[in-house]
Amino acid sequence: MSSESKVFLLLRTHNRPQEFHRCIESIAKQSVLPEIIIISDDENDTYIKEVTLTHQVFRPKYRKPQWWIRHHNPFNDYFNQAVSLIPDGHFVYYLDDDDELVDQGWIKTILENDSNVLIGRFQLGNAHNHKLIGEKVVRGKIGGSCIALRSEIAREIKWPTRGGGDFFFIRRVVEKYKPIFISMVAGKVQKELQHSWGVRKHY
């Protein structure tokens, strides 16, 4: 790991101001702060302007109004677009606005492990009995917020926009790059939001 290496945290958000602010608060407690890239395709998400941590906002390519449901989620493609901002020699971690980081050393751990692919644990919500995922790459037992990877790999391997996108993305990554699994619980779901950002109100 270069002393100049950083973790770029890609944070997707839309129409969830309360959950978003709790997520940001959890990021602020990290012992090493990441470079935050907030992904929002709706300028009406004005709550983003209240963030005091250093960050940049990425506005992905225009999309027609539609339901952001799990079987067709353009926000996954927004991850693919956002990684173009990140140079070689760094790390990428993915987070949604209804998640929050738990272990205050998670970002530091990514840097110290210096691995191509690092997979930690993540705690689900009430609907899943708060179970931990991330122990193995099996559908339903791993998610996008379990994994951190080198920026070069993040650009090489694209997120699919179909259902189960997290799993299919991670499976493609580990088919080519050997992952390192650790028992640290990186984050958790704040509450169940049925995998939807809701219908678009403004364009």
The hierarchical CATH code for the domain 7-189 is 3.90.550.10
Q: How confident is the model over 34-52, as pLDDT tens digits?
A: 999 999 988 899 999 999 9
Does residue 189 surpass a pLDDT of 60? yes
pLDDT tens-digit series, residues 89-140: 999 999 999 999 999 999 999 999 999 999 999 999 888 899 999 999 999 9
Q: What residues are paired with 149 via a beta bridge?
A: 92, 117
> Which of the 8 DSSP states describes residue 72?
B
Q: How far are the Cα atoms of 10, 129, 174, 186 from residue 191, in angstroms, in the given order?
A: 20, 12, 29, 16
Q: Three-state SS string across 167-200, please?
A: HHHHHHHHHHCCCEEEEEEEEEECCCCCCCCCCC
